[in-house]
């Protein structure tokens, strides 16, 4: 290598080293400057801005059935607030809530806002509410103050109407009848459900919807109530509503029932069940007669609802002498359309007694045309089944007798030969005719 080449190589190496040293020194210098700048900004944050304004007082909570209002205490004095929010710094209030049954949420509020309402809650539900102050300084650093957490119950509301209100039984009481009224609790309680209010009004008929402010009014703690001394063959409206206790009663929606007092005592049936035996196209109800022999009605009534188009069938009368053996009863309706749901309702065969038992099931079996008549099939069973009135055939058409099809028929013109001829003729008559367009 010549002296010139050596000199050039040395100069190139020296240049590269100089560049590396400059870059390293520049980076170090930049980091030092950044640290100095950060320290310089943080030094500008007044400690007073991070103390009193970030203290969180106990706020006032105002619960309603579906909301909670949070009253926020007035923020720190105006002068300190003004000084601490110079150069882009800011204060905010943060509210977070988490209901036991519902969707949690969070909201960032301006510091001067003194009230916030949490909405979309459910009645009588615990909500955990957290409130704190957040300070964002000039550098964008976030400082959260003390977090105050409280559990708040939303207020109670009206319960929905009780379900399945009915009369369980009518009992003799010196020439009059006492009614045992039963129901199921509301689907939505909206509170602790402290009790029920019952109102019973004497009316002329079920079309006479007497106002609920009639004289007979009582409270009950459980979904069962015995009303005494009803006059036979008279009508009454029965109203029942649940209520929740707050500063006053919060009475819910009413369920109502119109009843006509029967001519005699009627007890509840026992072990009532409804089933749709597989592949039978029928629905069957079984039950035991009331335990008190003096509370058995003269007969029962079965009502069938359902099938194609939700048809409401005419009720069937159930003769106890035929349908029951000892205390066990069975009743079936056949010829129903497969693949449809039916509801069977059993009640005493008196007008509007308020007593009923019901059950649902899906009928299975062979497909049956929708216009096929619903029939009960009479037949010798241990408990008996009651045939319905057979519907008259109003078409006026004679139905072909095919009982001889497939059998040999005696003939005056040739015995078996005549029978074969008739067989061929019958088969041809039954063969469908195809029309070609």
Shortest CA distance to 88 belongs to which of 141, 130, 160, 40? 141
Quick one: pLDDT at residue 86? 83
Contacts of 437 (CB under 8 A, 6+ apart): none
> Measured between alpha carbons, how far is residue 263 from residues 167, 266, 346 in Å?
15, 9, 18
Task: Spell out, as residue ranges, where the chain has pLDDT lower than 70.
Answer: 1, 6, 10, 16-18, 20-44, 54, 56-57, 76-77, 210-213, 368-437
pTM: 0.67
Q: Which CATH number fits domain 163-260: 3.40.50.10790, 3.55.50.30, 3.30.230.70, 2.60.40.10?
A: 2.60.40.10
Long-range contacts made by residues 386-392, C-beta under 8 angstroms, separation at least 24? 386/316, 386/317, 386/318, 386/319, 386/322, 386/323, 386/331, 388/316, 388/333
Contacts of 280 (CB under 8 A, 6+ apart): 334, 363, 364, 365
User: What one-character-per-residue DSSP string does 246-314 give?
Assistant: SSSEEEEEEEEEEEE--SS-BPPPEEEEEE--TTSS-EEEEEE--SSGGG--SEEEEEEEETTTTEEPP
Over its C-alpha atoms, the chain yields an Rg (Å, rounded) of 43
270-362 has which CATH code?
2.60.40.10
Same fold, 163-260 and 270-362: yes
Quick one: pLDDT at residue 393? 34
CA angle 12, 17, 22 (to 5 degrees): 125
DSSP strand pairing (235-245 vs 324-325): unpaired
Q: What CA–CA distance (Å, rounded) separates 303 from 373?
A: 15
Q: What CA–CA distance (Å, rounded) separates 63 from 321?
A: 62
Q: What CA–CA distance (Å, rounded) separates 317 from 346?
A: 10
Quick one: pLDDT at residue 390? 29
Q: What CA–CA distance (Å, rounded) separates 295 from 213?
A: 32
User: What one-character-per-residue DSSP string does 354-401 give?
Assistant: S--EEEEEE--SS---TTSPPB------SS--PPPPPPP--S-PPPP-
pLDDT tens for 48-64 read: 888 777 676 678 899 99
Break the chain into its structural domains and give their ranges.
48-153, 163-260, 270-362
Shortest CA distance to 163 belongs to which of 207, 196, 192? 196
Classified by CATH at the fold level, domain 48-153 comes out as Immunoglobulin-like (2.60.40)
Q: How far is CA 23 from the centre of its chain?
A: 72
What letter would DSSP give residue 73? P
Contacts of 82 (CB under 8 A, 6+ apart): none
Cβ 209 vs Cβ 199: under 8 Å: no
Burial class (CB in 10 A: 0-12, 13-18, 19+), 174: exposed
Shortest CA distance to 225 belongs to which of 305, 140, 167, 282? 167
Quick one: pLDDT at residue 327? 95
Quick one: pLDDT at residue 378? 41
- Phi and psi (nearest 5°) for 85? -110, 20
Quick one: pLDDT at residue 260? 95
Quick one: pLDDT at residue 30? 60
Shortest CA distance to 271 belongs to which of 357, 206, 333? 357
> Measured between alpha carbons, how far is residue 49 from residues 37, 45, 140, 375 in Å?
20, 7, 14, 88
Place of tokens 């039954």: 430
pLDDT tens for 61-92 read: 999 999 999 998 777 667 888 888 888 899 99
Quick one: pLDDT at residue 39? 53
Shortest CA distance to 186 belongs to which of 259, 100, 254, 258? 254
């Amino acid at each position: 290598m010549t002296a010139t080449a050596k000199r050039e190589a040395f100069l190139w190496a020296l240049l590269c080293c100089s560049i590396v040293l400059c870059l390293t020194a520049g980076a170090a210098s930049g980091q030092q400057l950044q640290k100095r700048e950060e320290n310089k900004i943080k030094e500008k944050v007044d400690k007073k801005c991070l103390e009193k304004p970030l203290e969180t007082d106990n706020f006032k909570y105002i619960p309603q059935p579906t909301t909670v209002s949070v009253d926020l205490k007035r923020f720190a004095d105006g002068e300190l607030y003004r000084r601490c929010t110079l150069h882009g710094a800011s204060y905010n209030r943060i509210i977070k809530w988490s209901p036991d049954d519902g969707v949690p949420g969070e909201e960032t509020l301006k510091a001067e806002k003194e009230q916030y309402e949490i909405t979309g809650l459910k009645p009588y539900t615990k909500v955990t509410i957290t409130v704190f102050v957040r300070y964002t300084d000039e550098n964008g650093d976030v400082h959260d103050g003390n977090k105050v957490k409280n559990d708040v119950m939303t207020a109670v509301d009206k319960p929905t109407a009780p379900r399945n209100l009915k009369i369980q039984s009518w009992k003799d009481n010196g020439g009059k009848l006492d009614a045992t009224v039963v129901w199921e609790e509301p689907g939505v309680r909206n509170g602790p459900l402290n009790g029920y209010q019952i109102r019973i009004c004497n009316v002329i008929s079920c079309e006479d919807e007497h106002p609920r402010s009639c004289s007979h009014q009582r409270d009950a703690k459980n979904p069962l109530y015995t009303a005494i001394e009803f006059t036979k063959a008279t009508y009454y409206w029965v109203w029942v509503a649940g209520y929740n206790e707050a500063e006053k009663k919060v009475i819910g929606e009413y369920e109502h029932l119109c009843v006509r007092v029967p001519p005699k005592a009627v007890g509840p049936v026992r072990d009532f069940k409804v089933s749709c035996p597989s592949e039978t196209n029928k629905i069957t109800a079984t039950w035991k007669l009331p335990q008190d022999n003096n509370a058995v009605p003269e007969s029962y009534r079965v009502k069938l609802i359902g099938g194609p188009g939700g048809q409401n069938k005419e009720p069937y009368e159930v003769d106890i002498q035929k349908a029951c053996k000892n205390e066990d009863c069975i009743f079936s309706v056949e010829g129903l359309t497969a693949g449809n749901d039916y509801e069977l309702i059993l009640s005493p065969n008196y007008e509007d007694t308020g007593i009923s038992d019901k059950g649902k099931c899906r009928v299975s079996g062979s497909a049956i045309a929708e216009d096929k008549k619903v029939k009960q099939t009479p037949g010798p069973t241990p408990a008996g089944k009651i045939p319905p009135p057979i519907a008259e055939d109003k078409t006026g058409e004679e139905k072909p007798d095919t009982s001889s099809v497939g059998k040999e028929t005696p003939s005056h013109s040739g015995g078996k030969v005549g029978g074969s001829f008739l067989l061929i003729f019958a088969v041809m008559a039954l063969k469908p005719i195809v029309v070609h367009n």
